[in-house]
């Protein structure tokens, strides 16, 4: 359970330093859980996948739509599954700044530890995970809640294993802020 708690703390709280005002969102109810297997003991900082970050490049704004937020969150989930530290830290930038300010350390130092805590079965499931748009909560056009229950994968994740996240539209893209 302690391992799961660490995953939640860091899973929605890592990334480069991009600050924005704090959010006051509340996570949704947890979903059914599967037991996590013991993670492999091999860290994978330098062994990141070669899968490039999806979407928004070239300075063009990302879609400021619910579908744009869903795509961005799916990009994050896939990056976690592939241990793509650069993409994970990019998407979760504002949340990471908060976590770092609270003493967790930078994303590049904390996420390799998180990757070790996620079982191979869970990582594989995250690589193809999708989001059920009927289960998300649109707070404002610029702020969307992604509850754990909205994640569709071959493994069911509990709130303590994955955690709900808030995405906000900042600087022409969607970022995890909480």
Q: Using an 8 Å Cβ cutoff, are 79 and 52 in contact? A: no
| Of the listed ranges 36-40, 139-143, 152-156, 162-166, the one predicted with least confidence | 36-40
Mean pLDDT, the chain, whole residue set:
76
Domain spans of the chain?
Answer: 2-20+63-176
Half-sphere exposure of 1 (CA within 13 A, CB side): 0
pLDDT for 170 equals 96
Confidence of residue 61 (pLDDT cuts 50, 70, 90): confident
For residue 146, the SS3 value is strand
Rounded CA-CA distance 29/18 in Å is 28
- Is 83 or 97 the better-scoring residue by pLDDT? 83
Instruction: Summarize pLDDT for 114-130 with one digit per residue, the tens.
Output: 899 999 999 999 999 99
Q: Please, are residues 121 and 40 in contact by the beta-carbon 8 Å criterion? A: no
């Amino acid at each position: 359970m302690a391992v799961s708690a660490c995953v939640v703390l860091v899973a929605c709280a890592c990334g480069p330093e991009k600050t924005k005002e704090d959010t006051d969102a509340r996570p949704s109810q947890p979903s059914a859980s599967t037991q996590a297997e013991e993670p492999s003991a091999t860290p994978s900082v330098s062994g990141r996948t070669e899968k490039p970050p999806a979407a928004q490049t070239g300075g063009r704004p990302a879609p400021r739509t619910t579908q744009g937020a869903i795509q961005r969150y799916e990009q994050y989930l896939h990056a976690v599954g592939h241990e793509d530290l650069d993409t994970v830290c990019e998407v979760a930038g504002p949340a990471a700044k908060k976590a770092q300010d609270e003493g967790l350390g930078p994303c590049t130092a904390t996420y390799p530890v998180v990757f070790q805590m996620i079982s191979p079965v869970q990582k594989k499931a995250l690589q193809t995970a999708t989001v059920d748009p009927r289960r998300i909560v649109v707070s404002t056009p610029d702020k969307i809640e992604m509850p754990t229950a909205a994640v569709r994968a071959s493994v069911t994740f509990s709130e303590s294993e994955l955690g709900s996240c808030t995405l906000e539209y900042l600087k022409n893209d969607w970022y995890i802020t909480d």
